[in-house]
Chains A and B, each alone.
Chain A
Amino acid sequence: MKAIVCVKQVPDTQGKVAVKPDGTMDRSKMATITNPDDLNALEAALKLKDETGCEVVVVTMGPPPAEGMLRELMARGADRGVLVSGREFGGSDTFATSQILAAAVNKIGVGPEDVVFCGRQAIDGDTAQVGPQIAEKLHLPQVTYAANIKKEGNTLTVKRMLEDGYMTLKVNTPCLITCIKELNEPRYMSIPGIYSCYAKPLEVYDYEALKDDPLIETDTIGLKGSPTNVYKSFSPPVKGAGMMVESVGQLVGILNDKHLI
């Protein structure tokens, strides 16, 4: 049995946004972190490992430096990593990304007892589309917005947190779950984990490795396979510090002084 966790390296929201001339983001120039919801997905997988001893595989699509993130996730307890990386994959939107990730997950192999975990959404695009799209393309049942997961045999009982309430449902493995921050508290990297993570296996899947999968066609991946067109990316202008007023009278006074009323 194994848990496959799909993760994404995203720009650190503390840092600045760099934009390429074509309007897309220049990720190589930006500080990065692991997408926060994906850490909840990893934690869910590691909890399953604590209970059942299952294998935890982390998979990401990104440029070669994304290996650093995978190693950190192995330092938290993942057993091995898969880095999906190739020029052909560059510029993918959510549709193309999920084609590629689904092919990668296929190559890792989803057994009858396996669970695929994703974060709910990435803090850069905020689409929440890739997880559900992977499930559709792999013909796996999906449960989104998981706030609690219990496993008994091949059945998971998942509590979904929705805007106006909860929904609890049961799903059989294999399945795909998208996780929210309320699900758990991600663990820290451990020191033995840090000092052994570079000895753990890491595979790189390039275009050659995935091209035989029916999901991978030149017009389903990369910029060419992406129906989304980015019009413009930019850093929102910095606003000056506001001013707290203590009464309506004070506010009216200020507006009056500026001849606005």
Chain B
Amino acid sequence: MEMPIPDPAVLSNRERVLSRLARILPSEALITDEAERRAYECDALTAYRCLPLAVALPSSTDEVSDILRICHEEGVPVVPRGSGTSLAGGALPTEDSVILGVARLRDVLEVSYPDRYIRVQTGMTNLAVTGEVESDGFFYAPDPSSQLACAIAGNIAMNSGGAHCLKYGVTTNNLLGVTMVLMDGTVVELGGAHLDAAGYDLLGVICGSEGQLGVVTEATLRILPKPEGARPVLMGFDSNEVAGECVSDIIKAGVLPVAIEFMDRPCIRACEDFAKAGYPDCEALLIVEVEGSDAEIEEQLGLIKQIVRRHNPVELRESQSDDESKKIWLGRKSAFGAMGQINDYMCLDGTIPVSSLPFVLRRIGEMSKEFGLDVANVFHAGDGNMHPLILFDANKPGDLERCEAFGAEILKLCVDVGGCLTGEHGVGIEKRDLMTVQYAPADLEAQMRLKDVFDPKWLLNPAKVFPLQVSASRRAA
């Protein structure tokens, strides 16, 4: 992965920058020691690593502002970091950068049930937000798989999704306001407890901007009353096509499940071997979950079962208890772990129109043979967000490169059928060089204008999202 050449002026200026930072931060909030910096050399995309200049861990918006102002004045790139769970390399440092981590910003600032929001500092984890309001019958809807560890700051930067976004939307649909610090240290408030912007929807622009427009330190999040109950139903089919048609028919029938998860045969097998969830031996498996009171669930599942039976399922199993529900989800939730047991894997997250599902799965199967690497598919079928897991052996020379080439072909296929490169993980460095597949030069130019406005010197997380040659003149300016 090509990264820009570190700025020699910054590298030679390291001591001065560190001493300026040391004056405004308590000693425990500034990491300069090499062994300790090592912990920040990568995120969850561990194939790429780089040691940053230093790591700053501020505990207030004012400290964030001071750090950014100093780095701005000194021309030092800053890489914001939530919990470092990015699968796209969104928090990968460069050698000449300061990592700005929000891990110490963890306070709950306000909870309002009448207005249905919570205001938090953004180092708080996604699951902890729900934890804060759960006992009062509320929850925070976006639920990325990494929710136990991932920070709200990272969720906002990547516009994170999750399994339940068919009904509840992704981060941008549940974000009401932010306190954000611009690269020059200016603190700006966008949105709040009210809905909709007075002028341009800058909040919508910030969400998903991969930490390139500002550092979000506080967020007002929409919380929702918890449904009375939820119940999954599991169904197996003897072809991907039939499973795909079934998804489409369920949606057309007017049922809106909270989740529709899809697994193909390789994935079913691996999960079954790993988790013993009792999944049937079949080509395609769907888990559909609906919510409501018992009677409401019965009504919705009744309708769903009618539709499913028309598609001759090889298995149709409705959960009869909490234990059974857990078991149905167990296999799905352990999919990544199961794969990790067998092999190294690369997880993609391109989105496709749901109608292209059978075609895309068939093509991936063919490409799998061409590249000589196995693929397992698990994905959010209701919204078309795929998660092909390409299996490879990191110790085998050339395997990673082959895997990356295969991954790129799958993502190009997603774009070809009318989809996109990434549905919830973000571009980061991982998909940076594929952006020209999805976007024409004018499209990328328009996006880069936003960065020009928010961060004219291109110092915030600068080597991500846009292909290096496309952003070169701006980064050099």
Say if A and B assemble together: no
List residues of A whose CB falls within 8 A of some B CB: none
List residues of B whose CB falls within 8 A of some A CB: none
